[in-house]
Structure 1
Amino acid sequence: MKVLLISPQGSNIYAKMKVGLPPLGLAYLAAVIRENGHSVKITDRAIEKKDFIPEDFLPFDVVGISADTPRYPEALEIAAVAKEAGKTVIMGGYHVTFLDKEALETGVTDIIVRGEAEEIIVNLLRALENGDDLHKVKGISFVENGKLVRTAVALPPKDLDAMPFPARDLLPMSKYTSLMAGLPVTNLITSRGCPFNCYFCSSSRFGGIKWRYRSAKSIVDEMEILYHDYGYRAFAFMDDNFTLSKRRVMEFADELEKRHMNDIIWWCFSRVDILIRNEDMVKRMAEAGAFQIFLGLESHNEGTLDDYGKNIGNKEQDQAIALLRKYGINIHGSFIVGDINETKEMALQTAKWVQKVNPRVAQFSILTPYPGTALYHDVEREGRFLHKNWKLYDALHATVKTDGMTPDEVQKVLIKDYRMAYLSKYRLFHPHKFSPEMSLKLKNLRAKHEKIKNRVNPISFFVTFWSEMQRTKPKKLMAKMEKENKKKRSLHVTDNVTKGIDLTVGDKETNLINGMYIDGNSRKEKPSKKQLI
């Protein structure tokens, strides 16, 4: 079969600033589709910005579209054009995994793939090609005779080392211009699943609570291709739990050393509690080129941390920050604004602490109830949604009615937090300094890439950010959306689907995705040691 995979651009600030990385999810899918004898093409609309017309889809049998929450409206627009061309439309990704009914009710998508799709898509394409019964394909949702069908749960891939590397040859790699310390950076995924089931995150429900990981050898094999064939010297590991296994991190560092890859830098996600328990691991990471670590610090208010189920406090946060600084690793701190109970005074407490900590990167986000999270379930149950304009579910816009601040105040606090973090005396008079070893490494690497011009201009970024915040003030936005919603309620909706759909099912399993209820719940589940490793 001939398959077209599409990654929507999205409308948020980062998309406008062209801060992006290759869509590895689709690249993984393309690799397994091609491996199974089909032809495949990827279109990343963050790079290729043309509007689709029906004729664009004529060469293909199937159109697959990735749909996370803020890009879901654009995904529907693309799907509508593909359907006009008479093509079978498949959607996958976080948003439609948890809101499959909503997506199918639009009438512009035929099949939803729930959860990690590499094995599901192969079975689905085989069924479509042979005209087989779709009920036998696990992990999909579709409409049949006006009723919703959810097939049995498909377990996520177990052996990640056995999967082919992402099909980067199908992507315009030279056009991705994100940088790390002035160097072109590209992304990798080294593990899946998350045992922590955080209140505001859907990763555990999408990929399961059992952590599955690639071996150190597999990771460095992929890095060598990126190193030699594409010239990358900076790498970003995008999985939630890169450091969950100390043994794997140590093996990874040894593998880099064995292959003489000592002229690289890298970035990864980690957790405060993992770092402070493993100082020797942090030291080894620094020796192996760890440039920056992303930490979800979220808040400096103990009550807010408890609300998020972080199981850490201010003391542990300060210990992790001190530990990273001891070994010369930069901090990418992530902070959340707009907890249900947060007041302006509580938010200011966190902002002042961020000033003092002065991380190399301070990232502020508004608490956003993404489908599939326990937060979404609670906000729905308590009637706190301001709106469901999914384009604005980018963690930069207020979407929830909180007790401590008005929506306008939440967005103003976000702007103030960024201003305090980046225009503070701490940052102006205490510039970040690298360790002597890192300074020398960066000097040598930058000499090889001195022609690089594609830096994200901070002033331009803040102008774009400010303009977007002014354009989408909640009061103004709500009035505008109220008018638009009347028109949009019937857009792309097919009568036979909306009138005939029936979600009453006798088997609980049909409401599960990788062992978790797709409608979400507010129950905190504590992982077992077996789930952690």
Structure 2
Amino acid sequence: MAEEKIFKIQRVLFINPFVYNPQNQNINIGIDPVVFRHAGQAIKTGVTFPIGLAYMAAMLLQSGYEVKLLDPLAEPLPLEKIYDASCWADAIVMPYSPGHKEGIKRYVSDFRGKVRIFVGGIASHIHDYLLRNDWADIIIRGEPEEAMVELARQYPNVSDIKGIIFRSNSNEPVINPPRPLIEDLDRLPYPVRHLTNPAHYWDISFFGQPTAWILLSRGCSFDCIFCSQFEINQRRVRRRSPGNIVNEMEQVVKDQGVRNFVFFDETFNLSDKFVIGVCDEIIKRNLNVRWWCSARPDLVRFDVVKRMKESGCIEMRFGIESANDEILRYLNKDTTVEKMRRGIQITKQAGMNFSLQCIFGSPMESEATIKNTMDFIRQMNPLYVSFNVLTPLPGSRLFEQIKDKLNLEDDLRHFDILHTDYPLGRFSSQELSGIIKNAYR
């Protein structure tokens, strides 16, 4: 009797979720369901590099595995190319995106013979649905890089791999213990960039020019109630060294000719020492790059902003959320309107451009608080503003407060930052959508 062959993982396809329709021979998502829904119009604000998938791909390459990375969100791809790459792979890895639910369902159904792995906070919160309905074989929760390598090495023996959820022989979900956070980020390989075309990734701040996303740190010491990264990082901040960061930037400039960077940290200016260290390293190497970051206005320091500008920073993006102190307390922002005002004034005095991000829909939101926020925006006169709806994203403390009321596999369809099927205050979902559209006028 022939010995049964044990399935092993050697070739892995990483793919961004997309609209999968076998009747359509050209796959081009065109616009993202969240990013391009501003003001009810298809306004394109950029195409983000899938840095999470690229980090996992880099770890596998470093460990001797074969990988491919396809991003139908960034470039038109014929269905044949996606199908061939999927057939080539032993395992398929992708984030779960509620906006692409039906396309994902068709896609994973067509490739049941592969090891189908989902990553990200949403997938881990609907693991029961994904596993029982045969959408997935394994779900990685938390930081995925090390778990991905262990999966490739050990599959199908996964019962001792921390940080995963898998389906048992009896079709029951098994939740393994969580995986410790990666403390030394410098030991991670740089995310792979040669598997995608750099010209396809851009950001509105660089007017459509090729842009590279780079991660300098993980985690944030603040505790905003709506932050979906809270569950993963638990307010733990871990930083790469300035030399390691700028080495990667230098490599991107050399290999891809890209000089525009998005610093993809949750909050870049938590530590003045770290910010100055990165800026000094960029200046020392005379990189001649441009970059922007997300930051808190209440942590702004004049000399630090000047150094940022000298090193190539063209914009700071401030999540002010609201110009009402009661709402800020509810959101657990640990700041006040006056502190934010002072920080923005310092930013202006340092000659730095800035943009603002706001969130409408808190329980105490009213016509008056919305007017206050809009008045504050006009007074501050930012480069531009983005408006979003307060959404209980999976992984956030806000989500934990209401998750028992949700039918997750259905209700998550519109759980993005411009829509929510569960308004938390006096305004309905439809009214909040109208408020956002009016705010952009």
Structure 2 distance, partners of 1:152, 1:386, is: 23
1:203 aligns with 2:232: no
- Where does the alignment leave 5 or more consecutive residues of structure 2 unmatched? 1-9, 19-28, 37-41
Deviation, structure 1 residue 206: 1.8
Residues 286, 329 of structure 1: 8 Å contact kept: yes
Query: What per-residue deviation string (whole Å, max 9, x for no partner) do you get for residues 325-360 of structure 1?
Result: 011111120000111221223212212221222210
Residues 131, 137 of structure 2: 8 Å contact kept: yes
Structure 2 distance, partners of 1:109, 1:349, is: 46
Select the residue among 165, 178, 184 that pairs with 1:159.
184
Match of 1:171 in 2: 196
1:335 aligns with 2:366: no
Deviation, structure 1 residue 147: 1.9
- Where does the alignment leave 5 or more consecutive residues of structure 1 unmatched? 420-533
Structure with greater proportional helix content:
1
Deviation, structure 1 residue 104: 1.6
Match of 1:496 in 2: none
Deviation, structure 1 residue 51: 4.4
DSSP-derived class of the 2:211 partner: strand
Name the aligned partner's letter for residue 13 of structure 2.
L
Structure 1 distance, partners of 2:326, 2:406, is: 20
Residues 197, 203 of structure 1: 8 Å contact kept: no
Name the aligned partner's letter for residue 164 of structure 1.
P
Select the residue among 141, 145, 151 that pairs with 1:114.
141
DSSP-derived class of the 2:224 partner: coil
Match of 2:386 in 1: 363
Pairs within 5 Å for 1:7-26: 7-9=16-18, 11-12=32-33, 14=35, 17=44, 19-26=46-53
Pairs within 5 Å for 1:286-325: 286-325=309-348
Select the residue among 17, 28, 32 that pairs with 2:55.
28
Match of 1:500 in 2: none
Structure 2 distance, partners of 1:105, 1:364, is: 37
Select the residue among 59, 62, 82 that pairs with 2:91.
62
Deviation, structure 1 residue 418: 1.1
Deviation, structure 1 residue 180: 2.7
Pairs within 5 Å for 1:124-203: 124-128=151-155, 131=156, 133-144=157-168, 145-182=170-207, 183-203=209-229
Deviation, structure 1 residue 157: 1.8
Scaled by the length of structure 2, what TM-score is found? 0.87
Deviation, structure 1 residue 308: 0.3
Pairs within 5 Å for 1:327-406: 327-381=350-404, 383=405, 388-406=410-428
Query: What per-residue deviation string (whole Å, max 9, x for no partner) do you get for residues 458-490 of structure 1?
Result: xxxxxxxxxxxxxxxxxxxxxxxxxxxxxxxxx
Residues 200, 210 of structure 2: 8 Å contact kept: no
Name the aligned partner's letter for residue 327 of structure 2.
T
**1:221 to 1:123, Cα distance in 2 relative to 1, 3 A:** same
Residues 65, 75 of structure 1: 8 Å contact kept: no
DSSP-derived class of the 1:149 partner: strand
Structure 2 distance, partners of 1:282, 1:235, is: 17
Residues 384, 402 of structure 1: 8 Å contact kept: no
Q: RCO greater where, 1 or 2, for CA within 8 Å and sep 6 or more? A: 1
DSSP-derived class of the 1:108 partner: coil
**1:114 to 1:31, Cα distance in 2 relative to 1, 3 A:** same
Deviation, structure 1 residue 270: 1.1
**1:307 to 1:272, Cα distance in 2 relative to 1, 3 A:** same
DSSP-derived class of the 1:136 partner: coil
Structure 1 distance, partners of 2:131, 2:92, is: 15
1:2 aligns with 2:11: yes
Name the aligned partner's letter for residue 297 of structure 1.
I
DSSP-derived class of the 1:285 partner: helix
Deviation, structure 1 residue 146: 2.8
Deviation, structure 1 residue 37: 0.9
DSSP-derived class of the 2:153 partner: helix
Residues 234, 264 of structure 1: 8 Å contact kept: yes
Structure 2 distance, partners of 1:135, 1:288, is: 48
Match of 1:438 in 2: none
Name the aligned partner's letter for residue 2 of structure 1.
R
Give the aligned length. Answer: 410
DSSP-derived class of the 2:48 partner: coil
Identity %: 29
Residues 386, 401 of structure 1: 8 Å contact kept: no
Structure 1 distance, partners of 2:407, 2:91, is: 35
Name the aligned partner's letter for residue 151 of structure 2.
L
Select the residue among 413, 417, 433 that pairs with 2:435.
413
Structure 2 distance, partners of 1:266, 1:299, is: 26
Name the aligned partner's letter for residue 260 of structure 1.
N
Name the aligned partner's letter for residue 294 of structure 2.
F
Deviation, structure 1 residue 237: 0.4
DSSP-derived class of the 1:184 partner: coil
Residues 230, 397 of structure 2: 8 Å contact kept: no
Indicate the structure (1 or 2) with the bigger Cα radius of gyration.
Answer: 1
Residues 125, 394 of structure 2: 8 Å contact kept: yes
Name the aligned partner's letter for residue 392 of structure 1.
H
Name the aligned partner's letter for residue 12 of structure 2.
V
Structure 2 distance, partners of 1:13, 1:113, is: 24
Structure 1 distance, partners of 2:433, 2:237, is: 35
Match of 2:6 in 1: none
DSSP-derived class of the 1:135 partner: coil
DSSP-derived class of the 1:14 partner: coil
What is the CA RMSD across the aligned residues, in angstroms? 2.2
